[in-house]
Every structure is written in structure tokens, then in C-alpha cells.
């Protein structure tokens, strides 16, 4: 019995119809393609009216197969599958042809676009006729969630889920949660103290009965699939027994070894070899830094152990591995700061009083190395003038093309703090001012009134070579003021570089570990840039905060909450449908050669000794199809991507050649029996 | 010499995760490329059975592209390495069959590389256009299709090739 195929060609407003002659295409499909019984074009197939067209035809015309030529299947395949299912047709008896992303948006040649659309529809029609009805596998969703990264995004996500009553494992690489926000002094535009708003949330995380906080830990391995992930977490040895430690801090006082704190204090302050990054750290337990500890270096000292009132120090402690089972994963791994040394003409690392934005945050933080006093590197002199350089490593083709989104507002905040604390003159060198969100423009206005100087121009150089009177002993900022159209040399005491936000150096490895992709720069890629910003192409893996792209604290918090909401939705439903695209080995054809066994990276293929054949474990199979392509006996079939289906698609795509050259293309393809 | 009106037909196999997304991105970014390439989505470039490529040529394609995630970035961990190995063998076989190398291409494209994929499509289209039509099916139909004829032709070609080498 031949199939009854319905073809629907979408105009997508003028997105497709502006280039492709959709009426011609739909008429052609109806007249020329075998088994096509209905062929229509419609302005928006994804609209409810468009979907109803399909549903009505399935019911009235008895369609057994449906092809929609519209956008990418990544966008609307689900929509149309649902439409088919609601009219009683198995959703896998449907195929999409992407004539928008692959045709109308990539060419302006109308004739060629129309011809290519016909080929793509012919391919889809030939393929869909060989589709088989499939049933998605329903798998339960483990209600526990893994949150990776304990910055404000991860904290927000973990708290939302934990408050909703679900168990969360929060993994943080550093000894304490808090992330970059914990290092900041104030937050724009309200000038709330960062610690005052963050630390309550941090201690909520530390005390929450539903949160298993794994600080000083890293995810090493992830396996499984949506609803059923397994993660191996390595808990690094703290050399402090958490069960006994009260967090009194005596060990830190007694430790004789002082080292520069490159992480939390951004190199401006010191910490001990046994340390907590900052007083409000969560968890409160200190960590012994093995690299700088005298005992680990020379075999003697143990001052911390001697003075610890609860005998919590344990020099023999080892890293431990934990295996977690979770249903969903939220990645909130944050950003790295651009290394300002890469722009040598700004003098960072060479000229003492050039600071990065993060260093300045520590400098004006009351709990920082200078207790909040804004002073030069000599530790005493207050600057009388400060220059703030925007876009250091951002909007710069040599480094990062993106805008780092937070630097304009950060610079305004710094300007305010400098003027408030020192009365110094502040010069901001900007390319464009971008105060985008609520209350930001008003903050900019406020700084204009407070007397901050704004010079529109990218800085060419920061130098200590005085050329004019008044420049001696100063840092001179040379820039073209593009509003005045003239060169300016501004002598100042201190320069702050608003360094770019960059993807984490290991973002690509992390992405690979969790099976999600990154942009060219290394930001994690969301499922849809507008409509699905926290999901990824991998079901069950969500992203939040600056690992997805530069953003400020409010946006980061929103994404953390959004990701948690998505996970809660999954948990509330309790089960998820997994695509039934898996490989199957036909025992009677399998010769037991075992070629396929070593091809599967998921160990989904077992060899059955008793029957001497290989067998695919459907629960482990991810459906890549590599074994299908490799089987010399053709004994493995790949659901929804079978050889027959792909051969048929090739012959359809080449309909114009095939019909001309006498090839036996449209005949059924013989399959090895 | 290629016919001035010749428009090559190229079949491309793109993996669902990287290269098909790159094609989506090229479209969304309105990057223009020649309409000669017709795409088939597979879950992984590792699914591309060499017979798919042979089938495409046998049905009249002038070129075939296989596109996948960059090595080390495969959604299925390492399956594109298997594609790479197969591709080496396939290209070897096709060379023996007399096919010019430019007619098959293995292209890596991450989901972010819409522009790069479009450039590869442009390059390949021009390369195949310069090579001219392949027209495999028509070449076969001139012969009687028997194995003897095919072997005889292979022997002739082999002798010819040896001559050039000496």
C-alpha cells in the first residue's frame, strides 16, 4: 500500500516567501512527487491555524506521512510532531525540510532558491515514506540536581531548588563559595555593599538541609543522560577534618607562613599557608595550601596542629572521590578576567600604579588589604587624580570582540567611590557609555553631576615619561578626545583598567565534559539565544550566569533562578521522554565479529558469549549511529536514520539529476537481507 | 573544460550537534553561499557510511561533503575520529575509482562556525565547478555493466597509470 503524504510549505511571512516561490514549490510537489496527496503553502505553518491545517488533513485526507518545509528542525520539529500526534499520527512519521536557514536566508537567487527548495522537499518526501512509527522512551527524572560553580548564579540556582524542597549538590572549585561577587566592594547602581547582600545567601547555602555543599571540589567525570546523570566529584584534601573543625581560626593565626593571595586578594594582600579566603567564607573550614605549607615542604612545623583545640588538622588526608546521581545539571562556572599584561602600552605590571578593576575592588573594600583606603602601591599616598580606562581587552579585535557589559557601570561606580573617599579628580576614557538597565542611566547622570570627567576616546598609551611641565612623577594617559577632535595628555596618579570578562580558560574542556557546545570565544551556547537562554542542546544540562556571556549581577541572578525553574519543571513532571533514536542489532544477521564493540564510547554494546552475537543496551545508546555505519554485515539498524531512509533522502535531493540520467534512484533500495 | 552553465550538485552530510547548527547559524546570520549544496542531517558524522557517499555519486552528485564537530569536540566523545579514519579510506578508494580529490571533503565546523561553514561551501562549490560534471551514472550506462567489462577497463586504466608513472 502506498503512503499518503502531505506537504506543507511555510512562507514564514516573507522570510521564505520573499526568496522562494512557495506557491510554485507546493504546486510542484503535489504534481510531481509520488504519493503526495495534499500539498499546501501557508503564511505561518507554526501558528495554531497552520498546525490545524495539518491536523485536519491527517483526519480528513487520511495522511500517513507529513512533511513541513519551513525553518530548521531545531526550532519547530517538536511543534509539528505534536501537531501530528494530536491528530493521531505517530510523531516520527513526520519530516522537516529546512528551507529557511538553508535556502531563503542564504541566497538571493530566487530561481535557484526555488529549485533547491524543491530538491529538499523531494528528499524529505522520499525519506518520510520509509519512516517507522517510534515510541519515545519515558525515563524517570532523578529529583537531585548538580550545580557546578558557587558564584552568585550557582548560589541562586541552588537556593531556589533547595527552598522548593529538592536536594542539590553544589560543587565549587575554590575553598569558599561566593565567586567574583564576594571580592567586590559595592554593587552598581544602588551602591549596596556586595558582601552585605551576598553573605546572607552564602550562609543560607551553608546551612540549608537540602544543599550538599562540596567546596574545594571538582567534577571529574559525567555520564548518563537527562534525568539520570552520574557525576564523579573529586573532593580535594583540605588537610582539615570538617567534622571536627569549629572554624575558630586559631590555626590561621598561628601559621608562620605568609604568601601573596593571588586569587581572592588579586595579588594585593597576603594570606597564610592555612587559610580561609575571607572571613565570611562558606564553609568556614580553612584549607592548607600544600604548595606553601612549611610542613609539606620541610617535614617540620605543624604549628596549626599543635594549636588546634579540636585536633581537626589531618596532614594525612587524601583526595576523595564521590559518585553522585542526579537528574539535571546546572553549570554556573563564571568568567575569567582578561590579563591586562596583554596590552603592554597600558603599563599594567610595569607601572606600579596601574591597577586592574578587580585589584581596585579589593583596594576599596573595607575588608581588603588596605581596609578600604584608596592609596597608591606605596600604601600611604592618596591619589589626587585617577584615570579609568574602559574596554581593556573588550571591543578589541586583537583580544575580545564582545562588549563585557559591566565595565561602564563598574567605572561609574569606581568614579563615585574615588571621589567620595579621596576627593580626587576622576577621568573616564570610554568608547561608548552603555548604561543599559534599570537605574543605570540615572546613575550615569548622577556621576556627571558629581563632576566625574568623561573623555570619549580609546587610550593609546599610559606612560611615566613626562614631556610637559606638570607631568613629572605622574602617569600620563594619552588619548584622542574624539568629541573635541584633539589629542589629550592627562597626568594622573592612578590608572584603573576595566579588564574584559572572558570565558574561563577551561570552558571548552568543561563544555565537552558535560556535552554542550561553546561559541568561538568559549561562552557556553544556549539552546536559543532569545527564547531558551538557560537550556542547552543537551537535555538536562542548563547554564546560568557569565559562563553563557558577560552580564551583570541582576541578569546573573535571573538566569540562576530561571535555570532552577526549568529543573523544577522537570522534577515536577517526574519523567522525561527520550528520543527513541537508538541502534539495534539483528541477531540473525550478526556474525559476532565484534567490530562494533570497540566503536561505542558509551559501552552500550555488549557481546553475548552464549549466542556469540553483539547486543545494544538501548538505555546506554545515544544514537550516534557510528556502529550502524561500521557493521560489515549490515546487521545494525539505526532507528530514524536507517540506511534505507538516508538513501531515499539522497535520491530525493538529487531528483533533478536522477530523473535526467536514468539512474534507478526512485526504486526501492535493496537492503541486505 | 567546465561548461559555463554547469551548476554542481553537492550532497552534504552534517552532524546534528555542530555542523548542522553551524548551517542554522549561517542562515540566521544571513550569510550567503551558493545554493548548490543540499544537506542531510545525521546525528553524528560517524553515522556516514561510506556507501552513502558512493550512493550520492552513483545517483549523479558532483561532490559530497561530510561535516562534523572538530576533533576533540564530538558530542559523542570521539566518533568523529572514526569519521576521519573512514574518510581516509574512502578518499583512497575514490581516488582508485578515478575521482578527483576535490569532489569529497571532510569539513569540521563547530556550532559557532556558520561563517566558516559557508566559506567551505563556497570553496567546495567553486572547486567542483572547476572540475566539471562527474556524471557517473551516464559513464556507466555506456558499458554493458558486466563485471568482465569493468575489470577490463580497470586493467586498462591501471596500465595507463603505470605508464605515466614510469
- Using the beta-carbon criterion (under 8 Å), do B35 and A109 form an inter-chain contact? yes
Residue whose C-alpha is closest to residue A365's, from A429, A280, A460: A280
- Using the beta-carbon criterion (under 8 Å), do B113 and A520 form an inter-chain contact? yes
Cβ partners under 8 Å of residue B45, min gap 6: B13, B15, B19, B66, B67, B68, B69, B79, B80, B83
> Is the Cβ–Cβ distance between B26 and B75 less than 8 Å?
no
What is the grid cell recorded at A409? 557601570
Query: What ranges in chain B are assigned the alpha helix state H?
Result: 19-28, 50-58, 79-96, 114-131, 136-141, 147-165
> What pLDDT score was predicted for residue B73?
80
> What pLDDT score was predicted for residue B132?
93
Question: Using CA atoms, how far apart are residues B28 and A529, in angstroms rounded to an integer?
Answer: 11
> What pLDDT score was predicted for residue B145?
60
The counts of H helices and E strands in chain A are 17, 34
Contact status of B19 with chain A (Cβ, < 8 Å): no
> What pLDDT score was predicted for residue A142?
97
The rounded Cα A142 to chain-centroid distance in angstroms is: 22
Query: What ranges in A141-193 are assigned the alpha helix state H?
Result: 152-163
> What pLDDT score was predicted for residue B137?
77
Angle at the Cα of A243 (from A239 to A247), degrees rounded to 5?
Answer: 75
**Residue A562: count of CB within 10 angstroms of its CB:** 18
> Is the Cβ–Cβ distance between A72 and B25 less than 8 Å?
no
- The mean pLDDT values, 10 residues at a time, for chain B of 166 residues are 76 95 94 96 96 93 95 85 94 92 95 94 96 82 65 80 64
Residue with cell 592548607: A288
The minimum CA-CA distance between A516 and chain B, rounded to whole Å, is 8
The fold of B10-165 is: Rossmann fold (3.40.50)
- The mean pLDDT values, 10 residues at a time, for chain A of 673 residues are 93 95 96 94 95 96 96 94 96 96 95 96 96 92 97 98 98 97 94 93 96 97 91 97 93 95 93 94 95 94 94 95 97 97 96 96 93 94 97 96 96 97 97 94 97 96 94 96 96 97 94 86 88 91 97 97 97 92 94 91 89 89 93 93 95 86 46 45
> What pLDDT score was predicted for residue A346?
97
Query: What ranges in A129-183 are assigned the alpha helix state H?
Result: 152-163
What pTM value is reported for the model?
0.82
> What pLDDT score was predicted for residue B164?
59
Q: Name the residue of chain B whose CA is nearest to A95's CA.
A: B41
- Using the beta-carbon criterion (under 8 Å), do B41 and A653 form an inter-chain contact? no
> What pLDDT score was predicted for residue A669?
43
Task: Write the burial class of residue A38 (CB in 10 Å: 0-12 exposed, 13-18 middle, 19+ buried).
Answer: buried
Question: Using CA atoms, how far apart are residues A401 and A328, in angstroms rounded to an integer?
Answer: 33
Partner A, chain B 22-51, Cβ-Cβ below 8 Å: 23-24, 26-28, 30-35, 38-44, 46-51
Each domain of chain B, given as residue ranges in start order, spans 10-165
Task: Write the burial class of residue B146 (CB in 10 Å: 0-12 exposed, 13-18 middle, 19+ buried).
Answer: exposed
Cβ partners under 8 Å of residue A542, min gap 6: A328, A329, A330, A331, A534, A535, A536, A563, A566, A567
- Using the beta-carbon criterion (under 8 Å), do B79 and A106 form an inter-chain contact? no
Q: Count the alpha carbons within 13 Å of A335 in the hemisphere toward its beta carbon.
A: 26
Q: Name the residue of chain A whose CA is nearest to B37's CA.
A: A116
> What pLDDT score was predicted for residue B4?
65
Amino acid at each position: 500500500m502506498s503512503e499518503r503524504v502531505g506537504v506543507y510549505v511555510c512562507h514564514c511571512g516573507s522570510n521564505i516567501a520573499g526568496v522562494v516561490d512557495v506557491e510554485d514549490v507546493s504546486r510542484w510537489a503535489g504534481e510531481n512527487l509520488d504519493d503526495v496527496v495534499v500539498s499546501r503553502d501557508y503564511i505561518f505553518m507554526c501558528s495554531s491555524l497552520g498546525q490545524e491545517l495539518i491536523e485536519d488533513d491527517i483526519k480528513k485526507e487520511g495522511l500517513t506521512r507529513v512533511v513541513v518545509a519551513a525553518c530548521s528542525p531545531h526550532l519547530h520539529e517538536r511543534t509539528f510532531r505534536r501537531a501530528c500526534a494530536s491528530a493521531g499520527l505517530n510523531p516520527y512519521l513526520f519530516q522537516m525540510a529546512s528551507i529557511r536557514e538553508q535556502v531563503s536566508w542564504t541566497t538571493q537567487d530566487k530561481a535557484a532558491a526555488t529549485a533547491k527548495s524543491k530538491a529538499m522537499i523531494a528528499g524529505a518526501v522520499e525519506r518520510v515514506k520509509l519512516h517507522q512509527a517510534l515510541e519515545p522512551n519515558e525515563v524517570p527524572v532523578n529529583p537531585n540536581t548538580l550545580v557546578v560553580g558557587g558564584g552568585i548564579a550557582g548560589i541562586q540556582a541552588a537556593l531556589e531548588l533547595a527552598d522548593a524542597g529538592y536536594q542539590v549538590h553544589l560543587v565549587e572549585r575554590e575553598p569558599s563559595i561566593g565567586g567574583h561577587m564576594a571580592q567586590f566592594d559595592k554593587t552598581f547602581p544602588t551602591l549596596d555593599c556586595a558582601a552585605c547582600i551576598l553573605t546572607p545567601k552564602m550562609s543560607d547555602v551553608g546551612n540549608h538541609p537540602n544543599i550538599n555543599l562540596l567546596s574545594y571540589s571538582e567534577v571529574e567525570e559525567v555520564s548518563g543522560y537527562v534525568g539520570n546523570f552520574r557525576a564523579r566529584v573529586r573532593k580535594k584534601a583540605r588537610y582539615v577534618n570538617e567534622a571536627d573543625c569549629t572554624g575558630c581560626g586559631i590555626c590561621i593565626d598561628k601559621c608562620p607562613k605568609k604568601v601573596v593571595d593571588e586569587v581572592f586578594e588579586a595579588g594585593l594582600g597576603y594570606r597564610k599557608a592555612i587559610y580561609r579566603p575571607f572571613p565570611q567564607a562558606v564553609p568556614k573550614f580553612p584549607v592548607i595550601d600544600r604548595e606553601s605549607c612549611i610542613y609539606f615542604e620541610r617535614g617540620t612545623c605543624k604549628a596549626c596542629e599543635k594549636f588546634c583545640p579540636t585536633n581537626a588538622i589531618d596532614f594525612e588526608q587524601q583526595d576523595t572521590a564521590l559518585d553522585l546521581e542526579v537528574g539535571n545539571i546546572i553549570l554556573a562556572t563564571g568568567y575569567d578576567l582578561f590579563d591586562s599584561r596583554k596590552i603592554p602600552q597600558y603599563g599594567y605590571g610595569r607601572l606600579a600604579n596601574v591597577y586592574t578593576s578587580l585589584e581596585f575592588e579589593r583596594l576599596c573594600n573595607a575588608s581588603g588589604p588596605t581596609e578600604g583606603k584608596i592609596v597608591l602601591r606605596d600604601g600611604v599616598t592618596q591619589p589626587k587624580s585617577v584615570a579609568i580606562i574602559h574596554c581593556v581587552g573588550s571591543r578589541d579585535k586583537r583580544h575580545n570582540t564582545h562588549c563585557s557589559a559591566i565595565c561602564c557601570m563598574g567605572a561609574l561606580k569606581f568614579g563615585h567611590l574615588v571621589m567620595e573617599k579621596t576627593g580626587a579628580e576622576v577621568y573616564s576614557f570610554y568608547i561608548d557609555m552603555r548604561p543599559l538597565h534599570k537605574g543605570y542611566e540615572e546613575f550615569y547622570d548622577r556621576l556627571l553631576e558629581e563632576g566625574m570627567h568623561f573623555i570619549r576616546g580609546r587610550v593609546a598609551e599610559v606612560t611615566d615619561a613626562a614631556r610637559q611641565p606638570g607631568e613629572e612623577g605622574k602617569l600620563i594617559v594619552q588619548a584622542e578626545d574624539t568629541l573635541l577632535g584633539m589629542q589629550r595628555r592627562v597626568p594622573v596618579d592612578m590608572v584603573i583598567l576595566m579588564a574584559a570578562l572572558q570565558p574561563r580558560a577551561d570552558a571548552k574542556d568543561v563544555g565537552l565534559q558535560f556535552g554542550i557546545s561553546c561559541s568561538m570565544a568559549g561562552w557556553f551556547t544556549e539552546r536559543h539565544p532569545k527564547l531558551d537562554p538557560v537550556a542547552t542542546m543537551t537535555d538536562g544540562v542548563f547554564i546560568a550566569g557569565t559562563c553563557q556571556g558577560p552580564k551583570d549581577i541582576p541578569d546573573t541572578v535571573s538566569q540562576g533562578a530561571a535555570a532552577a525553574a526549568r529543573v523544577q519543571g522537570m522534577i515536577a513532571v517526574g519523567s522525561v521522554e527520550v528520543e527513541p533514536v537508538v541502534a539495534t542489532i539483528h541477531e540473525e544477521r550478526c556474525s559476532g565479529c565484534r567490530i562494533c564493540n570497540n566503536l561505542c564510547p558509551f559501552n552500550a554494546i555488549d557481546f553475548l558469549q552464549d549466542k556469540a552475537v553483539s547486543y545494544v543496551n538501548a538505555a546506554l545508546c545515544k544514537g550516534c549511529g557510528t556502529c550502524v555505519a561500521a557493521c560489515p554485515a549490515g546487521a545494525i539498524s539505526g532507528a530514524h536514520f536507517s540506511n534505507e531512509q538516508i538513501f531515499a533522502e539522497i535520491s530525493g535531493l538529487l531528483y533533478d539529476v536522477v530523473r535526467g540520467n536514468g539512474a534507478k534512484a526512485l526504486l526501492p533500495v535493496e537492503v541486505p537481507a | 573544460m567546465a561548461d559555463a552553465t554547469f551548476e554542481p550538485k553537492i550532497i552534504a552530510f552534517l552532524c546534528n550537534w555542530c555542523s548542522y547548527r553551524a548551517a542554522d547559524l549561517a542562515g540566521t546570520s544571513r550569510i550567503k553561499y551558493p545554493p548548490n549544496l543540499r544537506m542531510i542531517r545525521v546525528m553524528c558524522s560517524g553515522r556516514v557510511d561510506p556507501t552513502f557517499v558512493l550512493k550520492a555519486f552513483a545517483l549523479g552528485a558532483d561532490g559530497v561533503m561530510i561535516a562534523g564537530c572538530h576533533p576533540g569536540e564530538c558530542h559523542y566523545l570521539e566518533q568523529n575520529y572514526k569519521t576521519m579514519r573512514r574518510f581516509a579510506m574512502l578518499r583512497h578508494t575514490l581516488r582508485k575509482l578515478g575521482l578527483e580529490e576535490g569532489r569529497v571533503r571532510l569539513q569540521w565546523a563547530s556550532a559557532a562556525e556558520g561563517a566558516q561553514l559557508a566559506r567551505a561551501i563556497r570553496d567546495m562549490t567553486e572547486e567542483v565547478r572547476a572540475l566539471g560534471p562527474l556524471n557517473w551514472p551516464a559513464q556507466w550506462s555506456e558499458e554493458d555493466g558486466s563485471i568482465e567489462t569493468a575489470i577490463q577497463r580497470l586493467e586498462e586504466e591501471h596500465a595507463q597509470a603505470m605508464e605515466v608513472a614510469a
